Structure 1
C-alpha cells in the first residue's frame, strides 16, 4: 500500500457493519459509507487503492435521513450515501480490522 492518495480516505468514510451487510459478504460484496458527492469510478479507485483488491462493480444508494424527536423537539438525521462494492472471486476485504 505504498501509493495511497489522501483523497481516497475522503471518498470511503467507513465500512457499514450491519446484519444485512454481513449477509452480502457471501456474494463477495462489501458495503461502505461514502462521501455524498463521490462517483462510482472514484469509489472503485479508492477501494482498489486502500484494500488492494480488484473491484468488479459498484452500486450506490442514498439513505434519506429520518425525522426524529428529542425532548419534544424535532430534528432530522443527515442523508447517508452507501456503496455496495463487488470484488473479484479471489479477493477479500476484512472490514473487522482497520486499514
Structure 2
C-alpha cells in the first residue's frame, strides 16, 4: 500500500497539460481519444494510471509520440525548442472527459 501512495505522487506529475489543436479536437471527436502533453520519462502504464486517477474514467489504450523541438531564429542566433512527449489516450466506449472543474 505504501508503494501506491508514493506512486500517486509520481502519477500527479506525469500529465502536464491537454493538447488543444485542430488535430487533437478532430481525433477526440472521431476516435474517443484525448491528447495530453506528458513528462518525457513517462511510460504507457503510468499515463494510463494517471488519467484514470485524475479524471475517474476508464482507459482502453495509450499511444505515445515523441515530438521534436522546432529550430527557431532569434535575430542572427538559432535556438531550439525542447523536445516533448505527447500521449493519445483512447477511452473505453461511453467514457467522457471534462476539463472544466465545476462539472
State the TM-score, normalizing by the size of structure 1.
Answer: 0.89
Unpaired runs of 5+ residues, structure 2, are: none
Which residue of 1, 17, 22 corresponds with 1:19? 22
Give 1 or 2: higher helix fraction.
2
In structure 2, the partner of 1:9 is: 12
Unpaired runs of 5+ residues, structure 1, are: none
Query: How many correspondences in the alignment?
Result: 96
Which residue of 25, 44, 51 corresponds with 1:47? 51
Q: Please give the secondary structure, in 2, of the residue aligned with 1:6.
A: helix
- Deviation of the 1:98 alpha carbon: 4.8
In structure 2, the partner of 1:32 is: 36
Runs of 4+ in 1 over 3 A off after TM superposition: none
- Structure with max Cα Rg: 2
